[in-house]
Each structure stands twice: as C-alpha cells, then as structure tokens.
Structure 1
Amino acid sequence: MSGWFDWFGDFVGIAQGWLYETLVQPLLFAAGLINYGDQAYDALEWVVIGAVEVAVMAVVLGWCERRWSAEPLVDRAAVRTDVLYTLLHRLGAFPLVAFALLVPAFDALEAALRLDGFSRLSVDEWWPGVTDLPVVSFMVYLVLLDFVDYWMHRGQHRFAWWWALHAVHHSQRQMTFWSDNRNHLIDDLLRDAVLAALAVVVGVPPGQFIALTVASRVIQSVHHGNLRWRWGGPAERLLVSPSFHRLHHSIGYGHEGPARGCNFAVLFPVWDVIFRTADFRPGFVPTGIGDQLRGRDYGRGFWAQQWLALRRLAHRA
C-alpha cells in the first residue's frame, strides 16, 4: 500500500511540475503575477488530484450506475450541468483555498493567544502513543469534521436563508454521482470555510487535510449515485449508503417534518441515530423538492440556478 501511495505521489509531483512550467508560469510572467508563483504551484497539486479523482469517478462510478441503476436516466442535460459543478469544485480547489487562506490567519491568532497561555487543539497530543498515530489521527479528524458537517447540514435545511441556497442541491430530480457538487457557490464557500477553519483549529496537517477532503468527497459521490445499493445490517448504520442518502433527497422526506428532513449525515449515520433524524426504510422514491411538483422553477442551467437562488435569498432577507 505504501508503494502505491509513493507511486501516486510521484505521479502528482511530475504532473504538477509539468503544468506549472508549461502553462501556469508563462501566464504568471505575462500577467506580471510571478510573485504568486509559489501559491500557484501549491494549488496545482490539488488540481492534479482532482483531475485524477474525476477521471476515476467517471470510469468506475459511471460503470456502476450503468450496471446497478436505481432509475432510468432520462434527463441528460441536468446531469451535464452537474458535471460542470463537479469540475468547478474539484478542479477549483475550494476547500484548499479556504484552508490556505485560513492557516496564516490562525497562525497569527495563535501567536497572539499563546502569549495569554492558549494554543490550538492539537489532536496529536490528546493521547500520546495513540492519537499521534497517522491512522488514528486521520479517523479522529474525519469524525470531528463529519460531526460538524452534520450540524451544518441541519442548518442548511433549518434556516430559511441557507435553504434558499441549499435548495440548488436538492432541486436535482435526476440523481447521479455527479450530483454531489451541485451547490450554490456561496453555499459551498460557507461550508468549506467552516470545515477548513475547524481543520486548522484542531491542527490538521495540510497533507492530511487533502486526504480527508478527497476521502469524504469520494464517499459522498458514491452515496449520491443513481445506484440501488443498500449496505444492509450493521453496515447500513456505519456508513451512509445510496439508499439512505436518497431518502434525504426524496420528495416528501428530504425537507419536511419537524427536523426539516431526515438522514442529514454526510458520512456516518450515527449522528442521525443519536439525534433522531435517521430513516432507514428501503426503497428508491423520486427525488427533488415538493414545490417543484407545483411548478416552482429552480433553473435548468448553471447560471439560472445560481441567479434564482440569489433571488430566493433576497426574498428571505
């Protein structure tokens, strides 16, 4: 396994260097922005990883959806829009940009607070000999980030202004693995900034932050898929399945009731179980938002979806 990671790291480094020298560096020189060369070079690492991630998704999850589809694919135009969202998010490095911008700010804040006896919460130091092991710290970080993500997801459904933005994600009636990144840009930036801030506060190293983000995104792509997959048994309560998450997107379930929906967990259903928002019933019901059936327009293309969300937000203000 370590050999594979070494090979992948070498591949990313070679591709990163080639892209920088061939495309980015000449553009920076031409624009008089070569002072930002180091930042641009670092960002290219994320672009390369994102490109590999998208390619693997397209091949592997594309084949899985053809083999185990939950419903016929009848609206290919809607899926093409979701592909655009995916490319923008996964090649645009939203999480990494938020993380990179927050690290210097938190470093300065920590330096000031340290004079008063405060420092950031370093997970590695919680239990010496245990939490400083890479695998253990990785899982601790993943659980912490997922716990906060669960409550943000609850907020996206609970607060009218946030739902005005988050509705872009739920308005997709043709779910596929591309649907994960179908979000309003402001919604994405808010969520990524909060998670990046948490990662900085608990001391996540930059390399682990990239690994955490990629692992989370791959799992989320799977459970947004047009797949008749249900883990069943105890596994259904350990990791979100396509069946479990589809109910969250379903008309009549995903944004209704006292909790304004169900199955908010991003990775681990335990949060829904603990806070009583879990619904494990099987089946694959139609997805979307209830008022779409009454004619409400959430937009067909990228720009229409972004603009209509801003109009909904302004109406709520």
Structure 2
Amino acid sequence: MLQDLYATATGWIFEQAIQPVLYALGLMDWADDAYQWLDFALFGLVTIGVVYAVCRPLELWRPVERWDDGAPVRTDVVYTLLTRLGLLPMLAFVLFASLQARWEGWIADSGFVPPTLETLLPWLREHPFWALLLYIVVLDFGEYWRHRLQHRFRWWWALHSIHHAQRQMTFWTDDRNHVLDEVLAALWFGGLALLIGVPPGQFPVVVLVLRLAESLSHANVRLSFGRLGERLLVSPRFHRLHHGELSAGEQGRNYATLLPLWDWLFGTADFRREVYPRTGDPEAPEALVRGGWWRQQVAGLRRMAAAIAGR
C-alpha cells in the first residue's frame, strides 16, 4: 500500500511540475531520465524525514555533548542534502545506467543467468519477509568489509578521514563523506545487491533500514542497548567508540553498520558499555575539521593523491 501511494505521488508530481517544463523546452526525450531522477530525490527526502523523526528527539533527550558553535554540524547538513537529494543520485544514475546496460548486454549475449539467493534457496520465493531479512544481513556483511577496507588502504582512508574528522558528531554526520568515497560505496552496495538478486521492490526497504541504522549509530545521544542488545544491534554508544580520537585509521574498531556480530566474529568489537569518548581524528588537518563542503572535498583529493604517491 505504501509503495502504491509513493508511486502515485511521484507520478502526480512528475505530470504536474516536471513534464510541462520538459515539453515547453523541447526535452521530452529526457522524460524517462527525469522521472528516475525525481524518484531518487523523493526517496531521499522520505529517508531524511524518517531519520530526522527518529534521531532528533533522541539527541534532544540525552545528548553526549553540547556545543556553542554549530557550524561544523551545518556543514554535515549540506552533505546530507547534496547526497540524498542531488549530487550522489546524479552520479549514481549516470554510472549505473551505463554499467547496467553493459551487464544486461553481456548476459543476453552469453546466455548466462547469474545465481541469486533465491536460486540457491528456492523457498525464499514463498517467504518475502525472510528473504528481505536475509538480503539485509548479507548487505550488512558487505558493508562491514567495505568499512574495514576504508581504514586499511591509505588512499581510501585519505577520503574516509573526512568522515572521521568531525568532532561534533550527530546523526547528520552519517553523510559526511567525500563524493568519490560515496561513488565507491554506491558501486559496492549496488553491485552486491545486483549479485544476490535483491528485487527492485525490496531494495528501497533495505536501503532505508540500513540508512536509519547508520544515522542512529552516529547520533549525539547517550544511549546503550544493554549487555544483550549491544550484541544484537549497533547502538550510538557502540559506534561512538569507532569515532573516538584513538580509533582512527587502521586502529579502528566497531565497524559494523547494523549487526555487531561481524565485529565479534572478526575480532574488532569493543563492548564497553559506559564509554562515550570524544570524537574526531586528532591528526586531521583544519580543512577537514572546520572547512566547508568544497574545501573538504579538495583536501580529500589532495590527501588521496599524496597517499598514492607514498607521501
């Protein structure tokens, strides 16, 4: 029902606001692309609304820190708006449209049908809820390893360090990433989802669940899920240890997005329950700490180039 309502709203906005403009400008050949762009933007707006409704009251309830100067947090808001409503959807659309065309052409020519989770486990076709949960678990596992690699490779850490430079961490910090890092993340996540055969109708739900979990884990709230809960779901306390001043680079811990199980299995978990360290990378340059969006993007590219050159 919600999916039908969303589709109806998207269609109405497109017909009333976008299609007439395309027609007047003689750009109707771009109608399909414009509709997909609108779909990206509206889903991003819905995601921001859900995250704000959950995380903002928690931060007002029991904040870990309070700050007089909120400029760094406002920069993170800019990141979120650009990522969820504009810049990243545009880049992702251009990249994935090309990759998808190549992928589908290769499959058509070769006759190869890639295996999916439903191919390996046929009973999932009759149980969409359990299939959804399994997709979330597999993609969460993939996100754990992507995150570890971000800390492992110096060139990738040079980009990811923008995320760790924030000393005023809030739920907005989730989107504080370099554009190139976001593109790599989109390719990683989208490629894995394509590989395991996540249905188009379930993909937005998977994204929303993991997005909410990741934003909540960055929230400026003194919140632990208890001795048992901390081992079932990533909490703000659990992930704050990952952003602590002594947890930068290869010294990282608590990498998981949703399930601490991965940190426990691979020896990177820290379950101390009452520890809420100061956040931020003490070695980060001022450009990454207090610079605006553009300044941080340029600094990230320079740091990546220096890392590749071995400096």
Answering whether residue 268 of structure 2 is matched by residue 274 of structure 1, we say no
In the alignment, residue 61 of structure 2 is paired with which amino acid?
A: R
In the alignment, residue 278 of structure 1 is paired with which amino acid?
A: A
Root mean square deviation of aligned Cα: 2.1
1:107 corresponds to which residue? 104
1:308 corresponds to which residue? 299
Q: Which residue of 208, 227, 252 corresponds with 1:261?
A: 252
| Counterpart Cα distance in 1 of 2:195 and 2:140 | 15
Mean alpha-carbon deviation: is it higher for 55-64 or for 160-169? Answer: 55-64
Q: Which residue of 28, 32, 35 corresponds with 1:34?
A: 28
1:3 corresponds to which residue? none
- Residue 201 of structure 2 aligns to a residue whose secondary structure is helix
Equivalences for residues 78-97 of structure 1 within 5 A: 78-92=72-86, 94=89, 97=93
Q: Which residue of 222, 226, 242 corresponds with 2:220?
A: 226
| Counterpart Cα distance in 1 of 2:173 and 2:25 | 35
- Structure 2 vs 1, CA of residues 171 and 302 (structure 1 numbering), >3 Å: closer, same or farther? same
| Counterpart Cα distance in 2 of 1:101 and 1:65 | 41
Contact 2:45 2:84 in 1 (8 A): yes
Contact 1:249 1:288 in 2 (8 A): yes
Answering whether residue 209 of structure 2 is matched by residue 186 of structure 1, we say no
- Structure 2 vs 1, CA of residues 265 and 281 (structure 1 numbering), >3 Å: closer, same or farther? same
| Counterpart Cα distance in 1 of 2:126 and 2:81 | 35
| Counterpart Cα distance in 2 of 1:78 and 1:188 | 20
| Counterpart Cα distance in 1 of 2:287 and 2:126 | 50
| Counterpart Cα distance in 2 of 1:310 and 1:31 | 37
| Counterpart Cα distance in 2 of 1:153 and 1:143 | 15
2:17 corresponds to which residue? 23
Q: Percent identity?
A: 42
1:36-92 per-position Cα deviation (integer Å, ceiling 9, x unaligned): 212321332232222122123333321211012111133311111111111111223
Contact 1:158 1:260 in 2 (8 A): no
Post-superposition offset of 1:229: 1.0
Structure 2 residue runs without a partner (length 5+): none
In the alignment, residue 106 of structure 2 is paired with which amino acid?
A: L
1:136 corresponds to which residue? 130
Contact 2:287 2:295 in 1 (8 A): no
In the alignment, residue 279 of structure 2 is paired with which amino acid?
A: T
Contact 2:287 2:296 in 1 (8 A): no
- Structure 2 vs 1, CA of residues 102 and 143 (structure 1 numbering), >3 Å: closer, same or farther? farther
Mean alpha-carbon deviation: is it higher for 190-199 or for 88-97? Answer: 88-97
Contact 1:131 1:137 in 2 (8 A): yes
The count of aligned residue pairs is: 303
| Counterpart Cα distance in 1 of 2:202 and 2:102 | 19
Give every structure 1 segment of 4 or more consecutive aligned residues whose post-TM-superposition deviation is greater than 4 Å. 98-101
Answering whether residue 282 of structure 2 is matched by residue 290 of structure 1, we say yes
- Structure 2 vs 1, CA of residues 208 and 100 (structure 1 numbering), >3 Å: closer, same or farther? farther
Contact 1:173 1:287 in 2 (8 A): yes
Structure 1 residue runs without a partner (length 5+): 1-5
In the alignment, residue 221 of structure 2 is paired with which amino acid?
A: L
